[in-house]
A = this chain, B = another copy of it.
Amino acid sequence: MPYTYQSLKHSDPHTLRAAFRSGRYRSHTAGLGQGLLQANLAILPQEQALDFMRFCHRNPKPCPLTGVSDTGNPMMFTLGRDIDIRSDVPAYNIYRNGQLDTEITDIFDLWNEDLVAFALGCSFTFEHAIQKAGIPLWHIDNDKTVPMFRSNIETVPAGPFGGAMVVSMRSIPEDRLNEVTEISRRFPLAHGAPIHVGDPAEIGIADISQPDWGDPAPVGAGEVPVFWACGVTPQVAIEAARLPLCITHKPGHMLITDIPEDAESPVLSSSQEKI
């Protein structure tokens, strides 16, 4: 019998990942594992791994690297005590030569000795903190996907990875702007402080009502559009690099880690034992 969202809402990360692993929960992870770091996933051949890691390091706001596996080892032991990256997210997208090929719920058949898995922080983390401060987020209250735009801000390239930064937009009451900036700055592993505030044209966005990804969202009276670096940036860079094989999570279907959202470092303390 499939798990329901309600039945998992208060589960610990071990139980959640077991549910995903069983194939009996294939839906998105927003709202699950509250207080825990969720992560985007990118799995690449080792040949491109050093350049991808450089790309993440040079672009920490769109690509906040939270974990990297050993080559060929599917256990992401720095992020949780039992994370098998072949089965522990609810759904995967398989890209071949930069094209989406198929969507599957485990990658046991595709995993091999040459692959490296990368986990990247996501915006759920700072959104939780903004909501906790009593500041509404329109796309969440209206069950929509946040609007995302290709900006004219260039990433710092590394090897085959580069291109424009993708940004997400949230409309914020002008009198809460400083608060929202300070809250999100506290989460460098979740895109950190905004990359731009105000006029969309200044970062190359011609029409704020026409997002490149996600759903349009209104900017109400007394509100200002606020733009954050977005985790779609590395996905677009990976697609443009046309790697023979790349595996990602299905958008919204994230890796739920054992790491608290407000951790100083995204490294499980038990992976760093006393001698």
For the complex formed, measure the closest distance between the CB of A188 and the CB atoms of chain B, giving whole angstroms: 7
Decide: A70 and B54 in contact? CB cutoff 8 A: yes
Please report the C-alpha to C-alpha distance between residue A94 and residue B175 in the assembled complex, in whole angstroms.
Answer: 56
Which chain B residue shows the least CB distance to A152?
B275
Which chain B residue shows the least CB distance to A202?
B274
- The answer, yes or no, to whether A156 is at the interface (CB within 8 Å) is yes
Binds B, one of A12-20, A55-63, A96-104, A240-248: A55-63
Decide: A156 and B271 in contact? CB cutoff 8 A: yes
Decide: A273 and B188 in contact? CB cutoff 8 A: no
- The answer, yes or no, to whether A193 is at the interface (CB within 8 Å) is yes
Out of B59, B152, B203, B264, name the residue touching A185 (CB < 8 Å). Answer: B264
Decide: B154 and A273 in contact? CB cutoff 8 A: yes
Binds B, one of A45-53, A136-144, A166-174: A45-53
Residue numbers in B under 8 Å from A272 (CB-CB): 59, 153-156
For the complex formed, measure the closest distance between the CB of A226 and the CB atoms of chain B, giving whole angstroms: 16
Taking A50-B71, A50-B116 as known contacts, 20 extra A-B pairs with beta carbons closer than 8 A to each other, sorted by chain A number, are: A49-B50, A50-B50, A53-B54, A53-B57, A57-B67, A57-B68, A58-B68, A59-B267, A154-B272, A154-B273, A154-B274, A154-B275, A155-B272, A164-B275, A188-B188, A188-B264, A192-B265, A193-B264, A204-B274, A204-B275
